[in-house]
Structure 1
Amino acid sequence: MDKTVPPGAAILLDFIRETEVGRSDRASYDVIYGHNQAKLPKPLTAMTYGEIVDAQAKWSKRFGSSAAGGYQFMRATLIDLAKQVTSISGNDVFTPDLQDRLAYKLLVRRGYPEFIVGKISLVQFAENLAKEWASFPVLATAKRSEREVRRGQSYYAGDGLNKALVRPEKVEAVLQEVLDAARRPHEPVEEPEARPVPSPGPKPKAKPVGKSGRFWTWLLTAGGTIVTGLKELNLVALDWRVQIAILVVIVGFAVYAISSMPAARGAMGLK
Structure 2
Amino acid sequence: MDKTVPPGAAILLDFIRETEVGRSDRASYDVIYGHNQGKLPKPLTAMTYGEIVDAQAKWSKRFGSSAAGGYQFMRKTLQDLSRQILSISGTDRFTPDLQDRLGYKLLVRRGYPEFITGKMSLVEFGERLAQEWASLPVLAPTQGGKLRVRRGQSYYAGDGLNKALVKPEKVEAVLKEVLEAARRPHEPVEEPEARPVPLPVPVPLPVPEPRTKPVRKSGRFWTWLLTAGGTIVTGLKELNVVALDWRVQIAILGVIVGFAVYAITSMPAVRGALGLK
Tell me the TM-score range normalised by the shorter chain: 0.7 to 0.9
Please state how far the C-alpha of 1:91 moved relative to its aligned partner: 1.0
The aligned residue for residue 68 of structure 2 is 68
| Structure 1: distance between partners of 2:191 and 2:81 | 33
Aligned residues: 215
Per the alignment, residue 31 of structure 1 pairs with: 31
Per the TM alignment, residue 193 of structure 1 is displaced from its structure 2 partner at its CA by 2.1
Deviation readout 1:138-186 (Å, 9 max, x if unpaired): 0001124673121111111111111111111111111111111111222
Match of 2:165, SS?
coil
TM-score under structure 2 normalisation? 0.72
Q: In structure 2, give the amino acid aligned to 1:140.
A: A
Superposed counterparts of 1:40-189, under 5 Å: 40-144=40-144, 147-189=147-189
Q: Report the secondary structure of 1:92's partner residue.
A: coil
Q: Distance in 1 between matches of 2:143 and 2:66?
A: 26
Show CA shifts across 1:94-117 (max 9, x none). 111111111011111111111111
User: Relative to structure 1, is the Cα distance of residues 16 and 145 closer, same or farther in structure 2, using a 3 angstrom cutoff?
Assistant: closer
Amino acid at match of 2:71: Y
AA at the equivalent of 1:3? K
Q: Does the 8 Å contact 2:145/2:155 carry over to 1?
A: no
Secondary structure of 1:19 counterpart = helix
For the residue of structure 2 that corresponds to 1:193, the secondary structure is coil
- Determine whether 1:11 maps to 2:4: no
Structure 1 unaligned regions, length at least 5: 221-271
Question: For residues 26-49 of structure 1, what are the alpha-carbon distances to aligned partners after superposition, in whole Å with 9 as ceiling and x for unaligned?
Answer: 111110001100100011111111
The percentage of aligned residue pairs carrying the same residue is 82
Q: State the distance in 1 between where 2:205 and 2:119 align.
A: 72
Which structure: larger Rg? 2
1:130 is paired with a residue whose SS is helix
CA distance in 2, matches of 1:196, 1:113: 42
Gap change, CA 1:131 and 1:145, over 3 Å in 2: closer
| CA deviation profile, 1:27-85 (whole Å, cap 9, x unmatched) | 11110001100100011111111110000010001101000001000001111111111
Distance 1:20 1:112 in 2: 19
* SS of residue in 2 equivalent to 1:82: helix
**2:21 paired with 1:21:** yes
Contact 2:71 2:99 in 1 (8 A): yes
Cα distance in structure 2, aligned partners of 1:155 and 1:170: 16
- How much has 1:198 moved relative to structure 2? 3.9
**Using the alignment, how far apart are the partners of 1:146 and 1:74 within structure 2?**
19
The AA in structure 1 aligned to 2:113 is: P
